[in-house]
Structure 1
């Protein structure tokens, strides 16, 4: 995910607890979705689609933080909050 930001991701994971939490949540959802799609964990199509939407929102939030750098707010929306 975002190979062009590899170094920045590494730094933010250790320096920004909010970013680290979002990153961990994204990876956990990714693994959960893979397990469901592989039939390891039972799930409905609707559940998988809902998790994919959550994962995409997390990815959007992470990208917003990466693009804005230190000026990004904690929620990733540039609001200063």
Structure 2
């Protein structure tokens, strides 16, 4: 769905407390989380505003977001 918010708190509501805790105690997690949110915001902006971008660039942004999400989930699930 275009423009859908993929914030970590929305993707993993059952892990809200752990996300908040890790953002405060783990600098690596915080940096990855911040980058994930930047990418999500940028992708949603491109989707809803119809700003011209080539498919390769758009797919690269989405791939980076997905890879970060996988890494973040791996940390959260341990």
- Please state which band the TM-score falls in when normalised by the shorter chain: 0.7 to 0.9
TM-score w.r.t. length of structure 2: 0.79
Query: Which structure 2 segments of 5+ residues have no match?
Result: 1-10
Q: How does 1:14-33 map to 2 (within 5 A)?
A: 14-33=24-43
SS at structure 1 position matched to 2:53: coil
* Larger Rg computed on CA atoms: 1
Query: What is the aligned-residue RMSD (CA, Å)?
Result: 1.3
Measured against aligned partners, the alpha-carbon deviations of 1:3-52 in whole angstroms (never above 9, x if no partner) come to: 11100000000000000001100000001111112236441122111110
Determine the C-alpha separation between the residues in 2 that align with 1:47 and 1:39: 16
How many residues matched? 68
Determine the C-alpha separation between the residues in 2 that align with 1:66 and 1:4: 11
Determine the C-alpha separation between the residues in 2 that align with 1:41 and 1:14: 35
Query: Which structure 1 segments of 5+ residues have no match?
Result: 69-81
Q: How does 1:63-78 map to 2 (within 5 A)?
A: 63-68=73-78
Task: Name the structure, 1 or 2, with higher relative contact order (CA <8 Å, separation 6+).
Answer: 2
TM-score w.r.t. length of structure 1: 0.77
Structure with bigger helix share is 2
